[in-house]
Amino acid sequence: MTEREPTCVVLGGGGFLGVNLCRRLASSGARVRAFGRRCLFPQDLAGVEWRQGDFGDAAALASAIGSCETVFHLVHTYMPQSADLNMAEDVRQNVISSLALLEISRKLKVKRIVFVSSGGIVYGPTPHVPTPETAATDPISAYGISKLTIEKYLRLYEHHHGLTFRVLRVANLFGPFQLPGKNQGVIAALISCALHNKEFEIWGDGSAIRDYIYVDDVVDALLLAATDESEERIFNIGSGQGRDLLQVIADLEASLGIKLAVRRTKGRLLDVPVSILAVERAYSILGWKPRTPFDVGIKQTVAWWRSRAI
């Protein structure tokens, strides 16, 4: 082990949240390795060691983890919509591969795994809005079930082997490096349509309420979770505020100074009508707070898009 050996690895480091996390870690002077199937923004990962590999490839995973003490687990090989169409394969690629990750991490003496779960999906339809971490978890999407199952195995490994973990149940993320076209990230899709003068398809009537959180704030929470020594394991990370899609569109129109062309389409069955996270636990235990007001996040995201001319 040389002096340059990374002390933390970001699994899924080539994706939207992963790139944001890696950049922050590198800029703070951490030695960081990113592992993933592909890196969408290689030019933006200066100072980060990039390691290409598949999450299901145990040998590649073990090599990427090496002597890292902290593992950020940001991988999910399916989107919510596609997981519902491939439930068994979702379990194989995500749950079973996460079991392999746990076993590798135990053997390599990893100290902490920080896992990104889905605050918008693991609870399912719930009367508790905003929804605290203690609410029942009855997802109506296979994606939510596999996320939840991985959370449970993390707890089991800590209980059996002392491998500590933290779970962040993150709300609807947006910000720089999020690309449209994967049925994820409505804000990226909206900005893309706006900048390219394309029509935007609304799912349902636009009344679905979501909790939008700017990516920089989520990166803050990931770093705090990596060193948290509290008794808590699971933290909601969101703005704590709900916005329906029509409000989001209005805010974006105001920010861009243009009018978006929208078209309504059929609602997705896997959607819950309202998802707002109660985030008091992260406030009080992690000392975390979202720093970025929604309109500021939107402005910064639009600025990033314009700088890239994507």
Binding site for a second copy (CB under 8 A): 84, 87-88, 91-92, 95-96, 99-100, 134, 136-142, 145, 148-149, 152-153, 155-156, 159-160, 269
Distance from C-alpha of 202 to C-alpha of 207, rounded to nearest angstrom: 10
Pick the closer one to a second copy by CB: 142 or 170. 142
CB of 299 to a second copy, least distance (A): 38
How many other CB atoms are there within 10 angstroms of residue 307's CB atom?
Answer: 9
Question: Phi and psi of 213, rounded to 5°?
Answer: -135, 135
CB of 269 to a second copy, least distance (A): 6
Question: Phi and psi of 143, rounded to 5°?
Answer: -55, -45
CB of 91 to a second copy, least distance (A): 6
Is there a contact between 165 and 109 (Cβ–Cβ < 8 Å)?
A: no
Query: At a CB cut-off of 8 Å and minimum separation 6, what does 203 contact?
Result: 245, 265, 266, 267, 268, 271
Q: Tokens standing for 154?
A: 């993390």
Pick the closer one to a second copy by CB: 99 or 129. 99
Read out DSSP for 94-136? IIIHHHHHHHHHHHTT--EEEEEEETTTSS-S-S-SSBPTTS-
Pick the closer one to a second copy by CB: 24 or 204. 204
Pairing of strands 209-210, 243-244: antiparallel
The DSSP call for residue 44 is: G
CB of 305 to a second copy, least distance (A): 35
CB of 128 to a second copy, least distance (A): 12
CB of 99 to a second copy, least distance (A): 5
Pick the closer one to a second copy by CB: 139 or 297. 139
Pick the closer one to a second copy by CB: 41 or 143. 143
Q: SS3 of 251, please? A: helix
Distance from C-alpha of 43 to C-alpha of 38, rounded to nearest angstrom: 13
CB of 86 to a second copy, least distance (A): 10
Pick the closer one to a second copy by CB: 83 or 173. 83
Question: Which of 98, 252, 107 is closest to 188 using CA atoms?
Answer: 252
Pick the closer one to a second copy by CB: 119 or 176. 119
The DSSP call for residue 42 is: G
